Amino acid sequence: MPHARSESTYTPKPVLTFGEPLAIFTHPGSEPLSSNRTFNLDFGGAELNTAIGLSRLDVPVWYAAAVGDDPFGQFILRELRAEGVNTHLVEQTSLCPTGAMFKLASGLYQDPAVQYYRSLSPMGSGHWRGEDALQAIVSGEVGWVHTTGITWMLSERTSAASDELIRAARENKVPVSFDVNVRRKLAPMDTWKRLIERIAPYLTWMFMGDTEADALFATDDAIAVLEKLAAMGFRGDGMIVKRGEKGASAVVRGKRIQVDAFPVRQVVDTVGAGDGFNAGWLAAYMRDDDMDQALKVASIVGAYAVSSPGDSSGYPTLAQVQSHLAGDEEVRR
């Protein structure tokens, strides 16, 4: 039986995601970056990845951000449009270069090592105000807002703009989903916790990984985490703890729901898996799937993500997800 939900949950309107896009340079080897001469150009960013995941699942999505008026910014915009993501809220500026990230595989860990070059980017240097995104929320053009904590850590002005967007969403009864998405290279853990304390009252749904939950709240138990969030003022519909190969846990109105991870043959690249999980859950939940089904869809998208190189290149289509839910085996030969 579907779980009870707020009247504002389902919407045919676009989802608005906002956050910084990055040009990503990858190398398949595990040698130091200084030893490599050849890199593959890709693109990504947590909120951008979720936007692509939603679009592949046939959910209309608008992406708000800022890029440099340079070849990397043009590349990102072209690829987003090819994915069906609406980019009319992406600002371009000649004052700042598009942010970049170098990603290097590790022989010891599943997660790759990353090096950011984003402090001079439009959002990293405070040249993004999000005014058009704000107008889209206030005017009722979008029906859901999704973002992550990364955006708040880029600059004071970007943080202030992000505050304004989620406050406007709350005031206009637009649900807001928020993935903590801790990046310790951007800020220490206590800064991330203070952010949650400040914005918790404006959020409808919260996502975090089990290691993030443990670092922030000294527990990864979903019910215990929700209790701590409630003490910070969180009054949303529920929260989800992502556990990687152990699946995911959700708490909705005091009830715990657990799903197993969708099996994969080989983990290739973990970056983007959590963002894809978010997209899968959002797409299913907005279509009125119950929580168990929404978590299963999220698990399938996450499994596709880790099975392919690149942040979002492996995300499945809606038809592929539906085939797995129906128990059909994909014809390979």
Per residue in 290-327, pLDDT (tens digit) is 999 999 999 999 999 888 777 788 899 999 999 999 88
The ranges assigned to domains in the chain are 15-319
Average pLDDT of the chain, as a whole number: 91
At 329 the pLDDT is 58
- Is residue 108 pLDDT above 70, yes or no? no
308 C-beta neighbours (distance < 10 Å), count: 15
pLDDT above 50 for 333: no
Q: What is the mean pLDDT of residues 243-254?
A: 92
- Residue 223 pLDDT > 70: yes
Which residue spans within the chain are E strands per DSSP? 15-18, 22-27, 40-44, 61-68, 86-93, 100-104, 113-117, 144-148, 176-179, 205-209, 238-242, 248-252, 255-259
- pLDDT tens, 170-214? 999 999 999 999 999 999 999 999 999 999 999 999 999 999 999
27-66, pLDDT tens digit by residue?
776 677 777 778 889 999 999 999 999 999 999 999 999 9
∠ at Cα 306 (300, 308), nearest 5°? 110
> What is the percent of the chain with per-residue pLDDT over 90, rounded to a whole number?
76
Q: pTM, whole model, 2 decimals?
A: 0.91
pLDDT band for 6, please (50, 70, 90 cuts): very low
Fold of the CATH domain 15-319: UDP-N-acetylmuramoyl-L-alanine:D-glutamate ligase (3.40.1190)
Q: Which helix (H) or strand (E) holds 279?
A: helix 273-286
Report pLDDT for 30: 67
pLDDT of 107: 59
C-alpha to C-alpha distance for 85 and 44, rounded to whole angstroms: 13
